[in-house]
Structure 1
Amino acid sequence: MKYHNTVLHQLLNFLPRQRFQAVVDRHNGDHRTRSLSCWDQLVSLLFSQLSGRQSLRDLVDSFNSKNAHHYHLGTRLIRRSSLADANRDRPIAIFQETFFYLLEKVRDRLPKQDATELVRLIDATTIDLNMNQFEWAKFRSSKAGIKLHTVYDPHAEIPVFFEMTNAKVNDRKALSSLPMMPGITYVVDRAYNDYGWYYSLTQQGSKFVGRMKSNAVYEVVETRPAKGAGVLADEEIRLTSNKAKKDCPISLRRITFRRAEDQKLLVFISNDLKCSAAEIASLYKQRWQIELFFKWIKQNLKIKKFLGRSENAVHIQVLTAMISYLLLKLVQLGGFSHLSLQQISRLMSVNLTSRRSIHQLLNPETERKIVAPQMSPQLNFGLSFA
């Protein structure tokens, strides 16, 4: 029988130990560490994410019960106090760089897109926290929480950037920390309506599609034919309020659209003066993909219940959740596009310590079929004349 490392070990092959250790050394992550290295911390947290552990004690007990596999994982028995201290104190930059390293690996496995087709969705999701346990995350008199401000690639179905902030941080204020690249079309909701940001995108050669505020003051420069299903109006406009025209002194597109599924009226704003109104409406429709992503990670990864109460511990847990997502995506891109990430995640969660190839796990029909041995004529003689 062919020998296989555990499924978790095969997942970790996407992240070479030497490469990870170089990041750790750069940030002095293992300085004065005796019982729990950064690698021990990462592997145990990934184990927690992918197997659905519910608490720090649950994680430590479950991980230590698999000690027969620790040697091949490059880990050792962990103590609850050591892991809690590491989550509180270790540099989050180690996990951020690991996320971006795996992100590049995912991108390398994707088919190349024409620059004119690149679309990024921007949105944020709020995760509620217990105010008594997470005082640093308080944002109202009786509420606490964090926000994940995310830039999402709908073609690759991956987050390409995210930032964790206190839930009180306004979505528009978070825009300044999100990386913007020339040639990309950014799709945003009404919460990100910022004319200065729209203008800076235009100046750098990017496009945007957003929702226009109902109280926006403008003049119509040109009225175009309303072509396309659901398109009620297609106008070229200029903003006329003193602040808006100073922040964004360019012509913009205003498109009035009625959504077929619920007859809701939507008014889009864009700096794209060439695409059809229907194409711009179609771009905005892609926003539902980032909503599905937020729903998926909340249902399948551990970002609603946290192993530590400090801001650093929460941040590291969110990062390891995103790292887990990219690892699952790398598996999917390795020849399993016929399976959803949910299917892959479920199969992985119950087989993390199984010594079985991922290929056999996800394609069970490829395993060698057991053929019943044929009986020799000498042993079969009693049946030959039945």
Structure 2
Amino acid sequence: MPYTWIPGKTKQKHKTHVNLMAPVNSVFPDITPLLSGCNRPLKMSFEDQLNILVYFHLEEHRSGRHLLQVLKEEHFARLHIAPEGVIEKSSFFEDISSRGLPQMMEMFGKLYASAAKHLPRGHAELGNLVLIDGSLIDAVLSMYWADYRKGSKKAKVHIGFDLNLGIPKKIFLSDGKEAERPFVEKILAPGETGVMDRGYQSHKLFDAWQADDKSFICRIKASTEKTVIKMNDIQPGSIVFYDAVVLLGTQGANRTEREVRLVGYQVGNVNYWIATNRHDLTAEQIAFAYKLRWNIEIFFGWWKRHLKVYHLISRSQYGLMVQMLAGLITYILLAIYCHDQHQEKVSVKRLREISINIRNEMSFEDIVNETGTWRYKPPSRGQLRASS
């Protein structure tokens, strides 16, 4: 069918990209404005900054320089992602390293709250579960703040992952040597249950969390000394072989002051010992809740591998936190998009589909619409006779 060129029409928006970014676009008016610290106008607004960093993670760019080249040379990125005017390399890296962190934190919090009302909640019978873990980020030697060991620099990101919604909800950044246990207090809210690996075992903290009305499901070392107060019944044929109310630790040394529940179960040839203060769940539910902890390992692996979160744009702690938050925001946007468009959870397949759709829509809409648009025009009678 013939098409006629109609010049001067308004550029069309990308349907896929617009749908993906709709949640953040609805929040932008409520975000504290990013202001210039001098008389010169900002080279990048916060909206520019966020759009660029989401695109960086979405398209799996390899570095900040690669991203800048794309913003300059790729048609879609130049029209819809890059700020107006030329963005210099020095200005870009300076802005990422020193501006926008409060706004990025604000956006992350508001977007999580919006997603909490929007996304379906899974495993509601287990209560509000927050998976807590940390992950090391390889750093370069010039990142002096990222102390780890002699001749090696690493930062560490501490994540609280909302298991019921399947999205991250809290993030903290520290040097690689920082202990992980103190961040539980910052991540976990009263009424929530933290699900943690045995690296978080601390009898003193078990007491403190209970005093603060915070629950935990934490794997502990098999060799931990336990004083039995009460044995609970075990269901025949269950994977659970132990269920009791105990005091953990050695008397006079590190024994818990408050009672905890201890559940032992076996999977394959491995015995798991889980300490908890959740007495309302069955032992099998405790075992299942801890099994779900693997979801945060999947998230870390997916986040690192497919969103390229740890390809560093900035070497400052400020800039790295900006980048980490943008990565989490990208993940939440993907979670909302996959649910709305496909009733699915985030997947690599959908991530690739989004990128492909954006490119396909670009080739049809943006390339021809930069100065006009295509519109179908029925052939005239003369054209029909000539073609017959």
Please, what TM-score do these two structures have when normalized by structure 2?
Answer: 0.81
Distance 1:207 1:44 in 2: 39
Task: Please name the residue that 1:188 is paired with.
Answer: 196
Report the secondary structure of 1:107's partner residue: helix
Task: Please name the residue that 1:231 is paired with.
Answer: 240
Task: Please name the residue that 1:134 is paired with.
Answer: 143
Distance 1:195 1:170 in 2: 16
Aligned-pair CA distance for 1:46: 1.6
Task: Please name the residue that 1:250 is paired with.
Answer: 258
Structure 2 unaligned residues grouped into runs of 5+: 4-9, 363-378
Aligned-pair CA distance for 1:307: 1.6
Whether 2:174 is the aligned partner of 1:168: answer no
Aligned-pair CA distance for 1:72: 5.5
Q: Render the CA deviation track for 1:224-270: whole Å, top value 9, x for unaligned.
A: 3332522222222124523534xx4222112222113xx11111111
Aligned-pair CA distance for 1:296: 0.6
Aligned-pair CA distance for 1:339: 6.6
Report the secondary structure of 2:322's partner residue: helix
Distance 1:249 1:126 in 2: 33
Task: Please name the residue that 1:60 is paired with.
Answer: 68
Q: Identity of paired residues, percent?
A: 23
Distance 1:252 1:47 in 2: 46
Distance 2:319 2:246 in 1: 48
Equivalent residues, number: 353
Please give the residue correspondences for 1:1-386 in structure 2 after superposition, counting only pairs within 5 Å.
4-6=12-14, 7-16=16-25, 19-20=27-28, 22-25=30-33, 28=35, 32-66=40-74, 75-76=83-84, 77-111=86-120, 117-130=127-140, 132-182=141-191, 184-227=192-235, 229-239=238-248, 240-245=250-255, 248-260=256-268, 263-338=269-344, 340-352=346-358, 354-355=360-361
Aligned-pair CA distance for 1:223: 2.2
Please, what TM-score do these two structures have when normalized by structure 1?
Answer: 0.81
Q: Flag the 1:270–1:10 CA change in 2: closer, same or farther, 3 A.
A: closer
Report the secondary structure of 2:133's partner residue: strand
CA contact under 8 A between 2:243 and 2:262: conserved in structure 1? yes
Distance 2:175 2:227 in 1: 38
Distance 2:334 2:186 in 1: 27
Structure 1 unaligned residues grouped into runs of 5+: 357-372
Report the secondary structure of 2:67's partner residue: helix
CA contact under 8 A between 2:136 and 2:157: conserved in structure 1? yes
CA contact under 8 A between 2:334 and 2:346: conserved in structure 1? no
Aligned-pair CA distance for 1:340: 4.4
Distance 1:39 1:301 in 2: 20
CA RMSD of aligned residues (A): 3.0
What is the one-letter code of the residue matched to 2:102? A
CA contact under 8 A between 1:5 and 1:355: conserved in structure 2? no
Distance 2:53 2:28 in 1: 15
Distance 1:265 1:68 in 2: 53
Aligned-pair CA distance for 1:186: 1.8
